[in-house]
Amino acid sequence: MKLLYFAWLRTKIGTAEESVDLPAGVSDVGGLIDWLRGRGPGYADALANLAVVKVAVNQEYVGLDHPVKPGDEVALFPPVTGG
Amino acid sequence: MKLLYFAWLRTKIGTAEESVDLPAGVSDVGGLIDWLRGRGPGYADALANLAVVKVAVNQEYVGLDHPVKPGDEVALFPPVTGG
Amino acid sequence: MAVRVQREDFDIGAELGALTRGNTRIGGLTSFVGLVRDMAGGDAVGAMTLEHYPGMTERQLEAIETEARRRWPLDATLIVHRIGRLEPGDRIVLVACASAHREAAFQACHFLIDWLKTKAPFWKQEETPAGPRWVDAKSTDDDAAARWERG
Amino acid sequence: MAVRVQREDFDIGAELGALTRGNTRIGGLTSFVGLVRDMAGGDAVGAMTLEHYPGMTERQLEAIETEARRRWPLDATLIVHRIGRLEPGDRIVLVACASAHREAAFQACHFLIDWLKTKAPFWKQEETPAGPRWVDAKSTDDDAAARWERG
């Protein structure tokens, strides 16, 4: 699956995009975020407060219980500030 | 005093502007309109329904009880339709 | 802070560009352009002629603009209204408000056009297949203006 | 019905002129332009950089535009949003709605910018004397967007 990070999530994690295999036992966004937190201090810091993390799967906003599967594009980013 | 008529009041009265001496006994807008109605059928027709006649004295909207005096500019016109 | 009544068309880009140029406190610019429609009340309209009360029109527009600036924190406002003969698709009026905040810019612009429509002495005469016809004032315009009466 | 994300500035007059040209059903055109302010949260801001999520941004803008057209009778809509580095006074976004009726044009334009601000994936990073700073989402923007939730 493809993972995308924007704005300060990108800065904290240190990369804009990465490809990972769907980790064993992960079936939804919440599980994926738990797994990502274990990948290093940058991830743990970026994902510490989910109140300020938005998630899109295949370019649609979703909640933490949304399923993830191989091939998905999962994006994590802060609340938007355009306009 | 100077009298101005706009839109269909002008069409019905048949003139855009005229100068008249303040008629004897006329002291307010209502009195002036009563006097104008007697000047001819065009005036009477134009001023038949005061619900659709607006009045400005010296370029400010006023009511029928507003005083009129020599030298005033009195305008009569329908509800506005700009914009 | 400008009010103009003119026969000529206006250049929206030039007008709006000039309104905000050099003022970096401005965060939002809301504008409204009114255009001549080819249908009014179900009858085909060929063109219209706009008449106004010179002098009082400018005074009313300035008073409306002053009221908007009293109610909202505005950095710039503009009202341009055309008179004379206009055809379908022609621009009639431009109203624009610039402010640090978009909500003020929206509210003030909406207020200006609503009040202009019921207070500024302009009158439209439409050319219809049955001959010229003075446009009646609309109660929906009175209702729109009344929303803002509370001040 | 157009949505664009671009680095270049836009020409307001050309954009708005094109939006209404040839459609004489249109009676009103409301537009909003967002500009970079030189002050944000009390600190002087030199410039900002706008980042977005290519693909999802366009999808979100199109979805917002579709929702506006479902709610109001619109003849034309336009959203242009810039990305990249912008300086104080630069234009960020243009939103415009044209309709037979001015109330629909106002409501829809206001709705579009309010929803864009909370739903379209753009992020601003400001340059401040203390270094770059990601702009926080504003609760007032959430409140403005929430007004329109009822549908």
pLDDT tens-place string over residues D87-122 = 999 999 999 999 999 999 999 999 999 999 999 999
Name every residue in B having a CB less than 8 A away from some CB of C: 4, 6-8, 11, 56, 59-61, 75, 77-83
Contact predicate A44/A77, CB 8 Å: no
% of chain D exceeding 70 in pLDDT: 95
Distance CA D71, CA D109 (A): 12
Question: Does chain A touch chain D (at least 3 C-beta pairs within 8 Å)?
Answer: yes
The secondary structure element, H or E, covering residue D32 is strand D28-35
- In this prediction, residue D130 carries a pLDDT of 87
Query: Considering chain D, what is the average pLDDT of its residues?
Result: 94
Q: Do C35 and D29 touch (CB under 8 A)?
A: yes
Interface membership of C29 toward D (CB under 8 Å): yes
pLDDT at D128: 87
Q: Is the pLDDT of residue C40 over 60?
A: no
Between A14-23, B24-33, B45-54, C139-148, the lowest mean confidence (pLDDT) is in C139-148
Size of interface A-D (CB pairs under 8 A): 72
* C116-150 confidence digits (pLDDT tens): 999 999 999 999 888 999 999 999 999 999 999 87
CB atoms within 10 A of CB C80: 23
Q: Give the pLDDT of residue A17.
A: 98
Mutation test of the interface with chain A: which of D56, D90, D124, choosing the one with the most A Cβ atoms within 10 A?
D56
Q: Is the pLDDT of residue D38 over 70?
A: yes
Question: CATH topology for D3-135?
Answer: Aldehyde Oxidoreductase; domain 3 (3.90.1170)
- Reply yes or no on whether the pLDDT at D39 is more than 80: no
Instruction: Report the pLDDT value the prediction gives residue D111, as an integer from 0 to 100.
Output: 98
- Examine the pLDDT at A5 and tell me if it is beyond 80: yes
CA-CA distance, D99 to D23, in Å (whole number)? 10
Range in A56-70, D72-86, D130-144 the model is least confident about: D130-144
- For the segment C73-98, the average pLDDT, to the nearest whole number, is 98
Please say if the pLDDT value at position C151 is more than 70. no
DSSP state of D41: T
> Are D135 and A8 within 8 A, CB to CB?
no
Instruction: Specify the pLDDT at position A6.
Output: 98
Q: Are B73 and B4 in contact (CB under 8 A)?
A: yes
Residue D45, Cβ density class (10 Å: 0-12 exposed, 13-18 middle, ≥19 buried) = buried
pLDDT band at residue C1, thresholds of 50, 70 and 90? confident
| Predicted local confidence at residue D151, as pLDDT | 64
Judge A/B contact: 3 or more CB pairs < 8 A: no
The residue among C30, C90, C103 with the most chain D CBs within 10 A of its CB, best to mutate, is C30
The residue among C111, C82, C86, C83 whose CA lies nearest residue C96 is C111
Q: Which residues of C touch D105 (CB under 8 A)?
A: 32
Q: What pLDDT does residue B18 have?
A: 98
End-to-end C-alpha distance for chain B, whole angstroms = 30
CATH numbers and ranges of domains, chain B: 2-77 (3.10.20.30)
Residue D1 clears pLDDT 90, i.e. is over it: no
**DSSP-assigned letter for residue D129:** T
